[in-house]
């Protein structure tokens, strides 16, 4: 149970203990404060007293836990926690959309996506999936207290595709953020039109097997293209082939090399990918 709370709240073990302690101490404080306020009125205990007491502690609880959270270093957590509760009450929200991010490298896009939804009560970044031990995205997962799943190629491509793990996290949408393995048909069928990829070129040019990272940028430069950019698209059975959701372009200058062009394309990725995902989430919530 404690492990599930830690994953749900995205906190480490020490902060989990402090959060639970804040809940307990804040509850006790608002209980004492509520009784003292009612005792001050001189009202005798009865049905009305009990009703007023319940109303009082309900109103006092947020204030008390915020006060207790300050010296315990948990103010940011409880501020966000209370904000989510208020939004759910105000908007009668359904459960958040659960996202898994698949990445193979440093995870800069993954970090931007996490940052985008950090305070968004409608989205949960529930899982980081990686195929490369030691990849930077695994460090991001650890720092953000997001569960990580390190996958093995044979099971992913030819086995059960880790569907049980994805279903256990109730994943709704899969986001590929620099994930280099081909997505197997079984996983695509399990998540139809719910797997999104970003490619560092203007598809249909410079896509396909082996076209990733600086290989793409060098191919663009060698072809003397005047523009490159990004393509955000749904994933189907063919590399870099699914329906395009958004494309954005940048100029390719004469002095550009693969690294300088990569920097331009990364800027486009960081600018557009989180917003496109946010739009997809909104559309899912409306459906």
Give the three-class secondary structure for 27. helix
Answer yes or no: are the C-beta atoms of 243 and 199 closer than 8 Å: no
Give tens-digit pLDDT for 230-272.
999 999 999 889 999 999 999 999 999 999 999 999 999 999 9
* Tokens coding 246: 């958004």
Which residue(s) pair with 101 in the sheet?
128, 175
> Domains in the chain, ordered, with CATH?
2-91 (no CATH), 97-286 (3.40.50.170)
233 is annotated as an active-site residue = no
Answer yes or no: are the C-beta atoms of 244 and 233 closer than 8 Å: yes
Alpha-carbon separation of residue 191 from 47, 97, 222, 280 (angstroms): 53, 14, 37, 14
- Does the predicted model carry a pTM greater than 0.75? no
Q: Is 70 exposed, middle or buried (0-12, 13-18, 19+ CB in 10 A)?
A: exposed
**Catalytic hit among 91, 161, 199, 270:** 199
Q: Any long-range contacts for 274-277 (C-beta under 8 Å, 24+ apart)?
A: 274/112, 274/113, 274/115, 274/116, 274/117, 275/116, 276/196, 276/232, 276/245, 276/246, 277/99, 277/113, 277/116, 277/173, 277/175, 277/196
pLDDT of residue 94: 63
Q: Strand (E) positions, 235-283?
A: 244-251
Give tens-digit pLDDT for 180-231.
999 999 999 999 999 999 999 999 999 998 898 899 999 999 999 999 999 9
């Amino acid at each position: 149970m404690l492990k599930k709370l830690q994953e749900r709240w995205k906190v480490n073990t020490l902060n989990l203990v402090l959060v639970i302690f804040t809940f307990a101490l804040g509850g006790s404080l608002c209980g004492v404060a509520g009784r003292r306020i009612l005792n001050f009125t001189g009202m005798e205990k009865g049905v009305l007293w009990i009703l007023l007491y319940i109303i009082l502690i309900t109103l006092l609880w947020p204030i008390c836990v915020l006060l207790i959270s300050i010296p315990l270093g948990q103010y940011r957590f409880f501020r966000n926690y209370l904000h989510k509760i208020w939004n759910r009450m105000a908007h009668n929200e359904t459960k958040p959309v659960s996202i898994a991010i698949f990445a193979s490298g440093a995870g800069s896009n993954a970090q931007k996506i996490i940052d985008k939804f950090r305070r968004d009560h409608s989205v949960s970044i529930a899982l980081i999936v990686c195929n490369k031990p030691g990849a930077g995205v695994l460090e991001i997962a650890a720092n953000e207290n997001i569960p990580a799943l390190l996958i093995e190629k044979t099971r992913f491509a030819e086995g059960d595709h880790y569907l049980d793990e994805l279903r256990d996290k109730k994943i709704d949408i899969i986001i590929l953020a620099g994930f280099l393995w081909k997505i197997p048909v079984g996983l695509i069928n399990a998540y139809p039109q719910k797997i999104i990829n970003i490619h560092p070129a203007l598809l249909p040019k410079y896509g396909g097997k082996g076209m990733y990272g600086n290989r793409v940028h060098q191919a663009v430069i060698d072809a003397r293209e005047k523009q490159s950019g990004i393509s955000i698209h749904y994933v189907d059975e063919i590399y870099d082939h699914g329906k395009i959701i958004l494309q954005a372009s940048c100029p390719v200058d004469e002095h550009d090399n693969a690294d300088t062009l990569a920097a331009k394309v990364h800027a486009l990725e960081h600018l557009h990918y989180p917003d496109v995902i946010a739009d997809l989430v909104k559309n899912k919530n409306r459906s």
